[in-house]
A and B are shown apart, each in its own frame.
Chain A
Amino acid sequence: MDIYALKNIGKFISIIGIALSLFFFTAIIVGWIYQEDMTSFVYFNLLLFGFNALIFVTLRTHSMKLSIKDGILSVNLIWILLGVAGAVPMVLYTQLSFIDALFESVSGFTTTGATVFTDIESLPHTILYLRSLMHWLGGMGIIVLGVGLFSLINPSGSMALFKAESTGIKMEKITPKVKDTALRLWGIYVLFTLVDMFVLKLAGMSLFDALNHAMSTISTGGFSTKNSSLGYYDSSVIVWVTTFFMIISGINFLAHLKLFSTGKWDGYKREEVLWYLGIFIVLSLALGSTDILIDHDSSIHAMTHSFFTIASVLTTTGFATLDYAQWGHLAIAIIFITMFVGGNAGSTAGGVKVIRYLVLFKNIGVQLKKILNPNAIVSVFNDGQKVSSHVVTSISGFIFLFVITNMLVSLYLYAQGYDSMTAISTAIATVGNIGPGFSLTGPAQNYAFFSEADKLVLSFAMIIGRLEFYTVFLLFSRSFWKKF
């Protein structure tokens, strides 16, 4: 690590730090509106701003050119530092220990939505807003924000970062400059959030709750301002509105961007989107039928909550309208399948993502064909385009890392003495950035009971999942640190 690389990383992180502190000022405004004592937050935020501004001003003449290694290291550092920066206000304003606050903050930024707070409704408005803000910033990706900001300042070399936040799947552009695509994506993101907020307000939420739930929904996070999540409102309008916005947030944002900039729907006519919607409908109907047939629920009630639950789990949001863990084993099995799927690439959702399954299943088809006709020339096609074998290998590696990480986390939890359902489901819920699992971490429960060591492991699992494995695991490879 030479001084040039350090300067690069320092400058980039300081830009993110400045942007973060500016967003944190909105939390201070919220606190000020609700007449909460903001003194220590103001001091902290000024410190955060001042420190980063100092680094930035010191390095203002340094012309930044991030190499792939710098990019990967920066991204990892940024996610850890975000966790720390988000934890401090929570330590200042609630009874949480630092580790608990770090868990909550990482859970926020990674849009997991697992909480350690036992009584959310007693929290100050500032903290409630801050949790939603962390979701909202983490959802679109701090890096996409960074790419936008960074290319405003320095119009070159931003590709390394775009790659670092999501490996394996190529980030498409619809404008020549990555900066323009990034900024437009944020435009769509803001628009969706405002529309969702407005509709939720009309559906009966208070403005504050509508804003928070909108931020949490569009980012597919899952933090709520109520203890019983969306179940608190007992309104099927709110449930359906949120279902709709969760589902569209799980679709590739470039498709939305195409619709808004050209008025054409072809962004949605992709195999991945169609499969995603298909999976959503089939699993929702299956879950609804289970509820109707086994629990003899009324069909409208069952379907409302099934569609909502599947949308919530599929998009890795993690909202709950009721304790679906009580629907019986078949229902749990259906939801479990959903936990493994995830949303679309390029969306705010986490998880494995539909495109990866699509490519791997198609690859299995190709392999079968190859066994039957050994001389056949076959390849995987997606949306009429050939998927290179490099991508197929990279996706296989991704699935392998996903399974290994889940296995290690669940074995760790199992070794700590938790039951197997808790261990397995919690691992997936954190690595897949979903939030609620089953048993002890079920939709009606929270993560407060875990020990501090457990929380650190789970925080790490959330970051690994958010950065899609490769970016984090690269740090553990010897060749990453080797100079030659």
Chain B
Amino acid sequence: MNIMIAGAGTVGYSLAQALSYRHNVIVIDKSREKLNQLEEEIDVLVMQGDSENPKTYQALQIDSIDLFIAVTDSDEANLLSTLMVEDVLEVKRKIIRLKNDSFLKSHILEKLSIDYAVFPDITTANKVKGLFTFPKANNVKTFHQTKYKLISMRLQNAIGARYRISILSSDTVCIVGIERNKSFFIPTEDAELLEGDLVYFFGDAEAIEDIIEKLDDHMPTTIKKVVIFGANTLAQKIAKVLLDKHLEIKMIDKNIEHCKKASEFLQGKVCIINTAHDDQQLFEEEGLEKADMLIAAGHNDESNIVKCIEAKEIGIKKVVAINNDKSYYPLMHKMGVIVVRGSKAGAHYAILEKIASNSIVTQRHYCGGRGVLFMRKIYPNSLLIGKSIKKTLAKDALHFLLREGKLLTFSDIDQLMQGDIIVVFGKIEIIEKMQQWIYTL
């Protein structure tokens, strides 16, 4: 595919890196310096220019591109560039990142024929919200093809007896990944769960909850009091979605402007504290140690991590860090910090997953991008109906067939039926094999 990315910031860079392996990528940015760095490190074509200026696109001697991705810092530039690029080139698909969620409710995206818009702040806020439905979970992922969820939990001073994976698995739940000692693997049936493991369950939400309940008596079962560090736009959006849950929320930020804006945005329904002095004192003064949960939603990954560790020290059991740098994932998992993708990482994965997915196959990443899953639904007119699946991906991957709310293996069935969903889980290293397998069934 020929892909054009407008914007060479964090998201643009990481997308270019991920996409350049298999696609022809052109990156446009105003800054020569950013482009120089990009050009040195990644095999892409760079183009200096303004993405809102049609001349930029004219300078490229091509007529059409398959995909245009607008991820500059400005919503207006992103929207405008989707118009400008189409003025000069033939564009098949357009993906855009937007910060302002008021666009979500307008018809502008349809009018500009934008195929997909990512609102990373909202995605992140909803992820945080998902943690309240499953208070003991680390992360919850939902899918549009099925009600089944991918839920992760950490085993900490909770399990008395050792559990074999085969005991926990049933026809509605299976374990599809374990992170142990910073490394991620796909477990075999006879593997055992150990203290400290981060376990990924795939299956019926209630069944998973039952298992989590059995495995963990450490985490609070209900969350009432929440502290949010940061009052920036992302933190505001998180607070906003949490308001539906009838929680007590305190927001803390050093920046007075952020605090004022947050107060306006949340209409005084949240206690917003502006602080300039050191945090330890603040924890005592505000009684923050009584909170059930802390969400560190600052812009800086590192200070979010420090906040979480601090909170853990004073006894807050559930700490969540918003993070954009996936290299910190293993470290944070080890520290018992729950990680939620921030707006940059969120935009990166949302766009990548959108590109790799289509109406038939869905691709999702989990465990900090180290695990990947593909899901393929059998639609009424599928050529696969009536066929059986013989070839599977050896032992590196886990395969299932989802039929009528039950997880089956391929040996259980004779032939595929309408409505079946094929799911495969594996490590990111074999993503290409998996992709080939699921498309060429």
Contact surface of A with B, Cβ cutoff 8 Å: 151, 155-156, 158-159, 163, 170, 173-180, 261-262, 264, 386
A177-B61 in contact (CB<8A): no
Which A residue's beta carbon lies closest to that of B27? A176
Instruction: From B7-15, B17-25, B253-261, B269-277, give the one contacting chain A.
Output: B17-25
15 A–B contacts, CB within 8 A, in A order: A155-B22, A156-B43, A158-B43, A159-B41, A173-B45, A175-B24, A175-B45, A176-B20, A176-B24, A176-B25, A176-B45, A177-B20, A177-B43, A261-B61, A386-B32
A158 to B227, CA, bound (A): 47
Contact surface of B with A, Cβ cutoff 8 Å: 2, 20-26, 32, 39-45, 61
A180 to B24, CA, bound (A): 10
A175 to B23, CA, bound (A): 12
List 8 tightest A-B contacts by C-beta distance, closest first: A176-B24, A176-B45, A262-B61, A178-B43, A176-B25, A156-B21, A176-B44, A176-B26
A155 to B20, CA, bound (A): 9
> Residues of B contacting A155 with CB < 8 Å?
21-22, 43
A261 to B62, CA, bound (A): 11
> Residues of A contacting B23 with CB < 8 Å?
176
> Residues of B contacting A151 with CB < 8 Å?
43
Which B residue's beta carbon lies closest to that of A178? B43
The minimal Cβ–Cβ distance linking A341 to chain B, given in whole angstroms, is: 28
Which B residue's beta carbon lies closest to that of A163? B40
A179 to B22, CA, bound (A): 12
**New A-B contacts (20) at CB < 8 Å, excluding given A156-B20, A177-B43:** A155-B21, A155-B22, A155-B43, A156-B21, A158-B43, A159-B40, A159-B41, A163-B40, A175-B45, A176-B23, A176-B24, A176-B43, A177-B20, A177-B24, A178-B43, A180-B24, A261-B61, A262-B61, A264-B61, A386-B32
Which B residue's beta carbon lies closest to that of A264? B61
> Residues of B contacting A170 with CB < 8 Å?
39
Which A residue's beta carbon lies closest to that of B46? A173
Residue in B25, B26, B39 whose Cβ sees the most chain A Cβ within 10 Å: B39
The minimal Cβ–Cβ distance linking B179 to chain A, given in whole angstroms, is: 23
A176-B2 in contact (CB<8A): yes
A178 to B41, CA, bound (A): 12
Residue in B20, B21, B24, B43 whose Cβ sees the most chain A Cβ within 10 Å: B43
The minimal Cβ–Cβ distance linking A32 to chain B, given in whole angstroms, is: 40
> Residues of B contacting A264 with CB < 8 Å?
61
> Residues of A contacting B39 with CB < 8 Å?
170
The minimal Cβ–Cβ distance linking A258 to chain B, given in whole angstroms, is: 8
Which A residue's beta carbon lies closest to that of B19? A176
The minimal Cβ–Cβ distance linking B427 to chain A, given in whole angstroms, is: 14
A261 to B23, CA, bound (A): 20
> Residues of B contacting A158 with CB < 8 Å?
43
> Residues of B contacting A163 with CB < 8 Å?
40
> Residues of A contacting B22 with CB < 8 Å?
155
> Residues of B contacting A178 with CB < 8 Å?
43
A160 to B2, CA, bound (A): 24
The minimal Cβ–Cβ distance linking A85 to chain B, given in whole angstroms, is: 29
The minimal Cβ–Cβ distance linking B396 to chain A, given in whole angstroms, is: 13
A262 to B61, CA, bound (A): 7
> Residues of A contacting B32 with CB < 8 Å?
386
The minimal Cβ–Cβ distance linking A260 to chain B, given in whole angstroms, is: 12
The minimal Cβ–Cβ distance linking A276 to chain B, given in whole angstroms, is: 24
The minimal Cβ–Cβ distance linking A24 to chain B, given in whole angstroms, is: 30
The minimal Cβ–Cβ distance linking A394 to chain B, given in whole angstroms, is: 13
The minimal Cβ–Cβ distance linking A184 to chain B, given in whole angstroms, is: 13
The minimal Cβ–Cβ distance linking A152 to chain B, given in whole angstroms, is: 13
> Residues of A contacting B42 with CB < 8 Å?
159
The minimal Cβ–Cβ distance linking A162 to chain B, given in whole angstroms, is: 9
A173 to B43, CA, bound (A): 9
A260 to B20, CA, bound (A): 25
A155 to B44, CA, bound (A): 12
> Residues of A contacting B43 with CB < 8 Å?
151, 155-156, 158-159, 176-179
The minimal Cβ–Cβ distance linking A138 to chain B, given in whole angstroms, is: 24
A156 to B41, CA, bound (A): 10
Which A residue's beta carbon lies closest to that of B44? A176
A158 to B25, CA, bound (A): 15
A158 to B82, CA, bound (A): 32
A159 to B46, CA, bound (A): 14
The minimal Cβ–Cβ distance linking B181 to chain A, given in whole angstroms, is: 21
The minimal Cβ–Cβ distance linking A16 to chain B, given in whole angstroms, is: 19
A265 to B40, CA, bound (A): 27
> Residues of B contacting A180 with CB < 8 Å?
24
The minimal Cβ–Cβ distance linking A50 to chain B, given in whole angstroms, is: 30
Which A residue's beta carbon lies closest to that of B45? A176
> Residues of B contacting A159 with CB < 8 Å?
40-43
The minimal Cβ–Cβ distance linking A63 to chain B, given in whole angstroms, is: 9
A178 to B24, CA, bound (A): 10
> Residues of B contacting A261 with CB < 8 Å?
61
A277 to B21, CA, bound (A): 40
A177 to B19, CA, bound (A): 12
The minimal Cβ–Cβ distance linking B38 to chain A, given in whole angstroms, is: 11
A170 to B2, CA, bound (A): 24
A45 to B61, CA, bound (A): 43
A175 to B45, CA, bound (A): 6
> Residues of B contacting A173 with CB < 8 Å?
45
The minimal Cβ–Cβ distance linking A383 to chain B, given in whole angstroms, is: 13
> Residues of A contacting B45 with CB < 8 Å?
173-176
The minimal Cβ–Cβ distance linking B130 to chain A, given in whole angstroms, is: 35
A140 to B219, CA, bound (A): 65
Which A residue's beta carbon lies closest to that of B61? A262
> Residues of A contacting B2 with CB < 8 Å?
176
Which B residue's beta carbon lies closest to that of A68? B40
Which A residue's beta carbon lies closest to that of B429? A63
A159 to B42, CA, bound (A): 7
A175 to B25, CA, bound (A): 9
The minimal Cβ–Cβ distance linking B227 to chain A, given in whole angstroms, is: 41
Which B residue's beta carbon lies closest to that of A181? B45
A272 to B42, CA, bound (A): 27
A301 to B41, CA, bound (A): 52
> Residues of A contacting B21 with CB < 8 Å?
155-156
A175 to B43, CA, bound (A): 10
Which A residue's beta carbon lies closest to that of B17? A156
A178 to B40, CA, bound (A): 11
The minimal Cβ–Cβ distance linking B1 to chain A, given in whole angstroms, is: 10
A264 to B60, CA, bound (A): 13
A163 to B24, CA, bound (A): 20
The minimal Cβ–Cβ distance linking B23 to chain A, given in whole angstroms, is: 8
> Residues of A contacting B41 with CB < 8 Å?
159
